[in-house]
Structures are given as C-alpha cells and as structure tokens.
Amino acid sequence: MNTHAVNPWVALAYLIAGVLFILALRGLSSPSTSRMGNRFGMAGMLIAVVTTLVTHDIAGLGETLIAIGVGGGIGWLIARRIAMTDMPQLVAAFHSLVGLAAVLVGWAAFLNPSAFDLLVVGDIIQAGNLVGIGTTIAAASRIEMALGVAIGAITFSGSVIAFLKLAGKMSGAPILLPGRHVINLGIIVAIVVLTALFATGNVAQGEYFAALTVLAFIVGFLLIIPIGGADMPVVVSMLNSYSGWAAAAMGFTLHNTAMIITGALVGSSGAILSYIMCRAMNRSFISVIAGGFGADSSGASGDAVKTDRPWKRGSAEDAAFMLKQAENVIIIPGYGMAVAQAQHALREMGDMLKAEGVNVKYAIHPVAGRMPGHMNVLLAEANVPYDEVFELEDINSEFAQADVAFIIGANDVVNPAAKTDKGSPIYGMPVFDVGNAKTVMFIKRSMGGAGYAGVDNEVFYMDQTMMLLSDAKKMVEEIVKALD
C-alpha cells in the first residue's frame, strides 16, 4: 500500500504540514489571529491530503475525486446553513464522525491486514497453543489498532450523547446510574485486558477485538450521560481531545506520519484546553476523564425558580436612561444571546453608548455558551473590537467600579450560589461578581425558567437588579431605539 515510505520529499511535505498545524493552533489562540490560524490549518491539511493521495495506492483517481466531492460538498453545505447557535452540537457531531472513522479504519485493517502492510511472519497461536508459523498481524500493530478503535468508539458514543444534550433532544440534566464509577472502571479494565489478549493472539481471535469495540461504545455512553449543566463546554473540549488521540492511533496503524502529528496536536491541545477550563471552573481534571464531574446534583438548591420572591421589572426606556447616565458598563453575554441572535443589536447598543462617552467592556466566562470560545466567536461575528472583550480573571475586579452590569442571556456564570451553596451543582465554579455593580440589568425571557444547571439565581432578587423580561434581541433593539 505504501509505495514511497522512504521518499524524503514525503517526509518534508508532512513536516511542512505539521508546522502549519502548529501555526494554526497558535493563531486560533486569539480572536485577532484566528482567521489566519484557520488558513494555516487548511493549507496544512491540503498538503497532507494531497501527499497521502499521491504516495499511497488507496483508490482510483475517479473514486478519490468522487469521495472528496461528496464529503466536501456536504461540509460546505452544512457550514453555509448552520447557525451559530447550533455550532456546539455541530462540533459534537463532527467529533463523533472522527471517532467512527477511527473504528471503521481499525476494523478494515483487522479484516484486511495485507492491504495495510500489517502482516509479518510469526507464530500462529490458537486457544493458547502454538500451531505453526505463518503470516500474522504484529503485536505492536494490534495494540495500535485496539487503542485507535477503543478511543474512537468512546469518542463516537460520547459525542452522540453530547450532541443530543446540546441539541435539546434529550435532557441536559445529569442522568445518574447507581454505581456508575465502579461500572466505568470495570469496563475500562476489561478493555485493557481484552487489548492484551488480542495483542497476544492471532488473526482468527477476532472475538476479543469485537468485545473491546462494543465495551468502548458502551463506556463512551456511560462517561458522558451523567454530565450536564455548566460543564458541557469542558465535555466538548475533552471529546475533541479524544478524537485527536484516536486519529493518532490510527496514524500508527496506517504508518502515516501526518495523521500521527495531527492527531497528537489535536489530542494534546484539547487536553490542555480542558485542563485550563477545569481550573477556571474549579473542577478536577481527573474527574473529567472519569465522567464523574457535574453529576452530584441531588443536593442542588432546587430546580424550581422561586418566583414568589420580590423582584423589580424594568422597561427598555428605563434601561436606556440608566445606561446613558453610566460611566462604566460591563456586558456579560451568555447562551441566551446566541439563541436570540442578539449579538449584532448588542454591538450597536455598545457603539451608541460609546458615542455618549460611556466606557463599555464585554466580560466572557470560560464556559459561557455551549463550547469553548462560543461567545468570543459570536462577538467577533458582530465586529465587536477585540480590545473590548475580557476574560473573567481580567475583569471580575472591575464590577465594583461598574455603574451597570448588563447581563444578556447568561445565568449560571453570574449565580452567587457557586460561592455560597455547597449543595449546588455549580458550587466552586468561579462566577462574575455582578452583585458589586451599582445596577444590574438582567435580560431574560421570563422568571419561570432557571439556567442550564437548573439552579435559582439570587441576582434576580437583589435590590439593584432590574429584570428586563423579553427575547434578548427584541429587548436590545428596543433599548437601541430608546437610546436614539
């Protein structure tokens, strides 16, 4: 299959692709350089794909072009039609496809090892007994194959659950199974044992390979289903890491350097991002991998919002008047802004306030939205200047000097229960100290719904809070009219 494995130009092409992938990750670390980062990534992938097609006898030119055309056409169509509000579940769906591809490649290599140059001369063992010498799959290739299939299957089933939760097709609340940690640990141990048995067996012992594949699909489901609420962005990031490691493992099976490099970069960067987000949320990184975080919701302060408590309602005119009088305004966007597609109206409101001499800043929580960087992308789409957007640790101390904290579509990330209620599912997660602002404006559809974590919010009932009950986009547009 591999006809030019020692060609130095192939190694050079893959090296260039790897460098471009590294530059892509570097560019994607900042909104101001993200477009260039995307271009580097696209160029690197083009070089890697073309090099692989030229140097490997995979299929005929016509078949290859048809496959590229179909896949590229579907991707182009989805990218054109997808709304930013659906981006998190789209990312989860794409992760599932990467995992499924790893499983299919692993099984293809197992069923037809000669096509992948995996056969070596060695002992043939049946039922633990040496029966002769012949061609068999090398033990190292078996381990690589098993790891790729196992990680890919976990990625696939876990990503499917994440997609269903993010798309609202199943409850976003944690679904807790009795003894889930023991069950997960037992299945993972079984997968390791089956991998060892598969590595020391022969081609005919496919039952081990099939069993570990099925168990990997099951444990992926079990790891993600107990997770919900504000922890979903970390899940998306971790699944991204899993998809990278699955690709890297398949790269070893296919003897493809580009896949190994790309998979390792995606896997390690996803893991690092997950670690950073866990620290930002005061979560344990190990508990993310174990699928046990965000699941102890039985002691939550309650799913029912206490609407019988006193609260103050304001209008767009009230909000516009107070915003005009302010000197410092901090805007906190959340998923509700994404659902309402209010980012453009919000940017217009910010521009009008700046024209009145108001200092406007945007505060982004690490887990705002449903995936890492969701709010940054939305604000960039609306052409909000990058220097006006700040992360939690950089702006949280400024709420004490803020005249107005303007919350649009956020909830859990401003909920003080994260600091005060040890029984809350979001306890320990750093939140914005909006209560320190002189005035809090909270845009919300109604008082009858809690945040994604299902927790009531004390901010609704503070003396300085004015509730603006409406669709986020409609309310902001009305405020813009009142400002004008």
Q: What is the mean pLDDT of each run of 10 residues along the chain (484 residues)?
A: 59 90 85 84 91 75 83 85 76 89 91 80 60 71 91 93 83 74 89 90 74 94 77 80 90 85 90 80 68 47 56 93 95 89 94 94 85 82 90 92 94 88 79 94 81 77 93 94 91
CATH H superfamily, domain 316-483: TPP-binding domain (3.40.50.1220)
Q: At what angle do helices 8-27 and 34-55 cross, to 10 degrees?
A: 160
Q: What are phi and psi of 237, to 5 degrees?
A: -65, -45
Neighbours of 1 (CB within 10 A): 13
- Structural tokens at position 360: 């406007």
Find all residues with CB under 8 Å of 463, minimum gap 6, and list them.
none
Find all residues with CB under 8 Å of 399, minimum gap 6, and list them.
330, 405, 432, 433, 434, 435, 436, 437
Q: Which amino acid is at 483?
A: L
Per-residue pLDDT at 301: 40
Please report, for the chain, the start and end positions of each structural domain, with discontinuous segments joined by +. Answer: 1-81, 85-290, 316-483
Q: How far is CA 376 from the centre of its chain?
A: 14
On whether the CB atoms of residues 378 and 333 are closer than 8 A, the answer is yes
Which residue, 453, 466, 361, is CA-closest to 410? 453
Q: What are phi and psi of 5, to 5 degrees?
A: -65, -30
Residue with tokens 């640790």: 393
Q: In the chain, how long is the greatest CA-to-CA distance? A: 89
Which residue, 222, 223, 256, 214, is CA-closest to 241? 223
On whether the CB atoms of residues 363 and 357 are closer than 8 A, the answer is no
Per-residue pLDDT at 2: 46
Q: Could you write out the DSSP letters of every residue in 326-384?
A: -SEEEEEE-HHHHHHT-HHHHHHHHHHHHHTT-EEEEEE-TT-SSSTTHHHHHHHHTT-
What DSSP state is assigned to residue 433? -
Which residue, 298, 296, 273, 274, is CA-closest to 285? 274
Alpha carbon distances (Å) from 415 to 222, 339, 407, 442, 482: 29, 20, 11, 12, 29
- Structural tokens at position 261: 């490099």
On whether the CB atoms of residues 93 and 170 are closer than 8 A, the answer is no
Q: Which amino acid is at 113?
A: P
Using only C-alpha atoms, what is the Rg of the chain?
Answer: 26
One of 117, 123, 387, 412 is an active-site residue; which one? 412
What DSSP state is assigned to residue 2? B
137 vs 117: CA distance, rounded Å: 9
Residue with tokens 């002992």: 123
On whether the CB atoms of residues 459 and 447 are closer than 8 A, the answer is no
Q: What are phi and psi of 4, to 5 degrees?
A: -135, 45
Per-residue pLDDT at 306: 52
Our answer to whether residue 387 is catalytic in this structure is: no
- Three-state SS string over 350-365 comes to HHHHHHCCCEEEEEEC
304 vs 70: CA distance, rounded Å: 48
Q: At what angle do helices 206-224 and 139-166 cross, to 10 degrees?
A: 30
Q: What is the pTM of this model?
A: 0.76
In sequence order, what E strands does 395-464 have? 404-408, 439-444
Residue 4 is inside which H or E element, if any? none
